Amino acid sequence: MRAPLLAAGLLLLCPARRTARAVYTERLIQVCIKSQARGLTVTPEGRFSLRDEATGTGYDLLPYKTYPVDAAGGVLLVGPYRFAGAARLAPLEPGATVLAGILGLLFYVTQTTTTLAENLTEQSMRQMAEATSRTLDLYADRSAELATALARRPGIRDAFDGRPEVTQTVLAETLASFKGLRSLVVFDAAGMLLAGRDVEGKVFTSGESYADRPYVKALQSGADAFVTRSVLTAKHSPSLILVAASTVRGPDGKILGGVGVCSDVAPAVAAFVSPLHFGEKGYGFVLDESGVVVAHAGDAALVGQDVAKLDFIRQLMDVKNGVFDYVWKGEDKAMAVARSNQTGWYTGMTASRADLTTAAVAQLT
């Protein structure tokens, strides 16, 4: 009588509206597969084959293999088959019915607890993505504040009065004082360079046009300050840079031009995301607003590449803030994403579902 009692208990535990039913035959002990569950894991003690009563098709469930559940429809996905409703799980060995009922109960309790542990891991990934995104905002804010401060310094204005050597001294002192800068530039209202140099001591040629740079165009369009939302390649090196720019005004308030603070962004952002790992394959990465990789803890060779056309990247950009599932190279994965308000950049934390499940199970044992 224990098996029917177990079955009844399982049915009470599983809300009918949110489940897809699979049935162990012989005593028809019913086991709920919750629609929000990630999958059904079969151990050697629970060796079963699944068959569809309507069509007679069948498929063996392999030991220690996890079979996913379609969360939308509560459908168990096994090989090429989709089982729901009339599907039955048939024991491969005689006398396994009572064991199946016990395993079913353990599956429900363990799966629910495992799912909770996975959700906590997802929450942790999302919190890390959000924290990294906030750090990026602070990084961009620091660049913007430095640009504003430089624009107000008398030594910067000297470049507009025909004394670029004075301005070059100010730029050199600033580069020596602030870590992570690539270069500093001062340009007139037409976008022509008046003074500039990089962290390695190279002095840029005055008269060079910067009119095509987005930060120059933004100031020419009336913005007092601007932070680039897409990474740029430095004009005098292959470095990826984030640029904060601010207008330079004369004593009468008239706009004379602007100053640009160019930060060497790739190594700085890599320092934020490189230490973050989830399981064996999980990692963090940062994309700019257009989908160019700024930093990638899983594959540094991707830095600078445009990945916006990848399906899961388009999904990331649509979600903006949150967690979603996707498949990459045949592997089920989870992604937590946070979008920066300051730059529009995306911080992603990704991990394989298998790793999350393993970590969740480890928390239970």
Rounded-to-integer distance, Cα 260 and Cα 246, Å: 7
Last residue of a domain, one of 206, 231, 266: 266
pTM of structure: 0.65
Q: Assess if residue 132 is contained within a domain.
A: no
> Does a structural domain hold residue 105?
no
CA distance linking residue 223 with residue 288, whole number of Å: 21
Instruction: Give residue 84's pLDDT band: very low, low, confident or very high (50, 70, 90).
Output: low
Nearest to 287 by CA among 261, 265, 258: 265
pLDDT at 257 over 60: yes
Query: What value does the mean pLDDT take over residues 80-93?
Result: 49
Residues 62 and 183 in one domain: no
Which domain covers residue 71, as residue numbers?
A: 2-95
pLDDT for position 89? 47
Residue-wise pLDDT tens digits, 139-152: 899 999 999 999 99
Give bridge partners of residue 34 from the DSSP assignment.
Answer: 19
Residue 35 in this model has a pLDDT that exceeds 50? no
Q: Are strands 19-24 and 87-91 parallel, antiparallel or unpaired?
A: parallel
Closest by CA position to 269, among listed 244, 237, 304, 234: 304
253 and 141 in a common domain: yes
Q: 84 with 194, same domain?
A: no
Name the residue with higher pLDDT: 78 or 213: 213
For residue 179, give every residue at least 6 positions away whose Cβ sits within 8 Å of its Cβ, in sequence order, or none.
Answer: none
**Same domain? 307 vs 246:** no
Report yes or no on 125 lying in a domain. Answer: no
Q: Cα(228)–Cα(165) distance, rounded to whole angstroms?
A: 28
Looking at mean pLDDT, say which of 32-41, 111-120, 203-212 comes out highest.
203-212
Q: Residue 194 is part of a domain; what is its CATH number?
A: 3.30.450.20
- Is residue 60 in some structural domain? yes
254, 316: one domain: no
pLDDT: is 119 or 236 the higher one?
236
- Quick: pLDDT tens for 270-320: 888 888 777 778 889 999 999 999 999 989 899 999 999 999 999 999 999
The H or E element spanning position 226 is strand 225-227
How many independent structural domains does the chain possess? 3
Do the Cβ atoms of 99 and 26 come closer than 8 Å?
no
Give DSSP secondary structure letters for 263-330: EEHHHHHHHHHTT-EETTTEEEEEE-TTSBEEEESS-GGGTT-B-TTSHHHHHHHHH-SEEEEEEETT
The H-or-E segment that residue 240 falls in is strand 240-249
Q: Would you say residue 100 lies in a domain? A: no
**Residues 304 and 225 occupy one common structural domain:** no
Question: What pLDDT does residue 230 have?
Answer: 92
CB burial string 81-107: b at 16+ within 10 A, e below: bebbeebbbbbeeeebbebbbbbbbeb
Average pLDDT score, the chain: 75
Q: For 187-197, what is the mean pLDDT?
A: 97
Neighbours of 41 (CB within 10 A): 18
Least confident span in 7-16, 103-112, 234-243: 7-16
The verdict on residue 39 lying in a domain is: yes
